[in-house]
Amino acid sequence: MSPASRSSPSASDHDDDDTGGLPPLPAGTRNYMTPAGYAALRAELLHLIDVERPKVVEVVHWAASNGDRSENGDYLYGKKRLREIDRRIRFLTKRLDLAEVADPSQHFGGDQIFFGATVTYANAKGEERTITIKGIDEVDHLAGEVSWISPVARALLKAREGDEVRLMTPGGVEVLEVIEVRYPAPPHA
Phi, psi of 50 (to 5 degrees): -90, -25
- What CATH number is attached to the domain comprising 135? 3.10.50.30
- What CATH number is attached to the domain comprising 41? 1.10.287.180
- The structure's pTM equals 0.77
Instruction: Verify that 87 and 109 share a domain, yes or no.
Output: no
Q: What is the DSSP string of 103-125?
A: -GGGGTT--B--TT-EEEEE-TT
Neighbours of 92 (CB within 10 A): 20
Last residue of a domain, one of 50, 76, 101: 101
Q: Is the pLDDT of residue 5 over 90?
A: no
Q: What is the pLDDT of residues 78-106, one digit of tens each?
A: 999 999 999 999 999 999 999 999 999 99
Asked if residue 131 belongs to a domain, the reply is yes
Give the C-alpha distances (Å, rounded to integers) separating 141 from 18, 48, 104, 116, 130.
21, 24, 19, 14, 12
Q: Which residue has the higher pLDDT, 26 or 88?
A: 88
